[in-house]
Each structure stands twice: as structure tokens, then as C-alpha cells.
């Protein structure tokens, strides 16, 4: 009886260890990213482990805007580094025990990532779960001088039963950049944080009013 109890405790400890390790390794690659990266490498099947974290100093990240409650979300630049051809870039989003890499085509340039808390409701029973919503605003090239804006969103849900969700929420008409809908969703200070970067503008519209970036300098130091 004593032996059976010790055996039970031993297997219980192993089970807990394996369970904890599994939780710590919840890594995902979005379907869209796998499709684009695999096509780029001539239909070679790309996985999460093919991506490597890059030095932010050499690969600039988009302007990252974190709202209250989303401070613990980490964003890193990653790439598939195949020395026989060009790198294929993406972004890795890390929150608690989950990590997801997302990327789009070679013609997508991520400019802004807005990170905020979100309430996710499960289908049917409508249970409320805590989540993080990350909306990345891209400049998309469709030829010279053709371009437009696209916003791709990731939902990371704080529940082991759910994988992160991805969705394209905004795709503007040709030549609309940045997306008016996305910019108006930001606060004026958040817009300013982007406009003062090398990718921003000296003059911009926000919620129906024109602003000069330099005039906001004394307000948002």
C-alpha cells in the first residue's frame, strides 16, 4: 500500500511537471504568416521554430502603443534567416504563457502596434475571458506609387482552451494611408507618438481636425 502511494505521488509530480512545461511552451504561428512565409520560400513549410529573434537595433520595430493594463505584452522583431535568399520578417507577440508570430506579405510594412486589454466572449455560453488585443497598422505597397493601409489584429486569450485569433480588420482603398478609422481610434497623444518618428507626417488629420506635429511638441513632451 505504501509503495502504491509513493508511485501515485511520483506520477502525479511528473504529470504536474509535464503540464507546467506544456503551458510554458504555448507557441503559435498564425495561419496567414505560415502561408505567406512558405510561399516566399518556394512552398517550403515554415514553422514557428524557423523564426529567430532579431536585434531591434538593426531591425526597427513599429511604433508600439500600450494602453493601461497591457504593459506586460512584449513585442519582438523576428525573421526566417535563410542564407540562400532574403530574410522573411515578422513580429512576435508575447503575453503570459503564450507567444504568437504573425507576418504578412513582403509588401507589408508594420508601422504601428496598438496593444490594449480586451474582453473576449466565448461562443454560445458567452463566458467573459480576459484577453489582449494587438492591432498592427501596415503600409502596404501595391506598386509605384500605389499603396494603402491594412490593420491586422491578434487576440490572445487568457485561457488554455483557446489559441490566439487573427483577423484583418481594416483594408483601405488605394492611396488612403494612414487608415482614417484607425488613426481616429487612437488618442491624440498616441497619434503624436507615431508622427514624431521618421515614418510620421508634419501635418495630419485627427477626428476631423488638422494638426501640425510640431505644435504638439510642448503638450506631449
Over residues 87-115, mean pLDDT: 96
Q: Which of 20-34, 37-51, 54-68, 90-104 has the lowest mean pLDDT?
A: 20-34
Q: If we measure between CA atoms, which residue out of 199, 195, 198, 200 comes closest to residue 220?
A: 195
Cα–Cα distance for residue pair 5/1, rounded to 1 Å: 6
Which pLDDT band, with edges at 50, 70 and 90, does 6 fall under?
Answer: low
Over residues 76-101, mean pLDDT: 91
Do the domain assignments include residue 209?
no
Do the domain assignments include residue 63?
yes
Q: pLDDT value at position 119?
A: 97
> Is pLDDT at 180 greater than 60 in this prediction?
yes
Q: pLDDT value at position 81?
A: 86
More confident residue, 21 or 115: 115
This prediction's pTM: 0.87
Q: How many CA atoms lie within 13 A of 101 on its CB side?
A: 23
Which pLDDT band, with edges at 50, 70 and 90, does 47 fall under?
Answer: very high
> Is pLDDT at 82 greater than 90 in this prediction?
no
Cα–Cα distance for residue pair 166/48, rounded to 1 Å: 16
Which pLDDT band, with edges at 50, 70 and 90, does 56 fall under?
Answer: low
Q: Which residues make Cβ contacts (< 8 Å) with residue 147, sequence separation at least 6?
A: 139, 140, 141, 174, 175, 177
Over residues 200-219, mean pLDDT: 96
Cα–Cα distance for residue pair 120/101, rounded to 1 Å: 20
Do the domain assignments include residue 216?
no
Q: What percent of the chain has pLDDT over 70?
A: 87
Query: For the chain, how many structural domains are there in total?
Result: 1
Over residues 125-138, mean pLDDT: 96
Do the domain assignments include residue 191?
no
pLDDT in tens, 8-46: 444 455 554 444 444 577 999 999 999 999 999 987 899
Q: pLDDT value at position 4?
A: 52
Q: pLDDT value at position 124?
A: 86
Report yes or no: 146 and 133 within 8 Å, Cβ to Cβ: no
Do the domain assignments include residue 54?
yes
Residues 30, 31, 32: CA angle, nearest 5 degrees:
90
Report yes or no: 115 and 65 within 8 Å, Cβ to Cβ: yes
Do the domain assignments include residue 159?
yes
Average per-residue pLDDT for the chain? 89
* Residue 155, domain extent: 26-186
Over residues 172-183, mean pLDDT: 97
Do the domain assignments include residue 105?
yes
Is the dihedral angle over the CA atoms 134, 201, 107, 207 positive or is it negative? positive
Q: pLDDT value at position 101?
A: 98
Do the domain assignments include residue 200?
no
Cα–Cα distance for residue pair 164/98, rounded to 1 Å: 8
Cα–Cα distance for residue pair 66/189, rounded to 1 Å: 12
- Supply the DSSP symbol for 199: T
Amino acid at each position: 500500500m505504501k509503495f502504491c502511494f509513493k508511485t501515485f505521488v511520483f506520477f502525479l509530480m511528473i504529470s504536474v511537471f509535464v503540464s507546467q512545461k506544456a503551458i510554458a511552451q504555448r507557441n503559435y504561428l498564425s495561419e496567414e504568416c505560415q502561408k505567406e512565409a512558405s510561399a516566399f520560400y518556394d512552398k517550403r513549410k515554415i514553422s514557428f521554430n524557423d523564426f529567430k529573434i532579431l536585434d531591434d537595433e538593426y531591425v526597427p520595430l513599429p511604433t508600439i502603443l500600450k494602453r493601461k493594463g497591457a504593459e506586460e505584452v512584449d513585442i519582438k522583431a523576428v525573421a526566417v534567416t535563410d542564407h540562400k535568399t532574403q530574410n522573411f520578417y515578422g513580429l512576435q507577440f508575447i503575453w503570459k504563457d503564450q507567444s504568437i508570430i504573425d507576418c504578412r506579405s513582403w509588401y507589408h510594412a508594420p508601422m504601428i502596434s496598438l496593444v490594449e486589454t480586451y474582453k473576449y466572449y466565448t461562443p454560445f455560453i458567452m463566458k467573459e475571458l480576459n484577453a489582449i488585443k494587438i492591432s498592427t497598422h501596415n503600409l502596404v505597397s501595391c506598386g509605384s506609387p500605389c499603396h494603402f493601409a491594412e490593420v491586422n489584429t491578434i487576440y490572445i486569450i487568457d485561457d488554455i482552451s483557446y489559441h490566439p485569433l487573427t483577423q484583418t480588420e481594416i483594408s483601405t482603398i488605394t492611396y488612403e494611408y494612414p487608415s482614417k478609422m484607425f488613426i481616429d481610434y487612437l488618442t491624440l497623444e498616441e497619434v503624436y507618438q507615431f508622427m514624431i518618428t521618421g515614418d510620421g507626417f508634419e501635418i495630419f488629420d485627427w477626428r476631423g481636425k488638422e494638426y501640425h506635429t510640431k505644435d504638439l511638441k510642448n503638450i506631449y513632451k
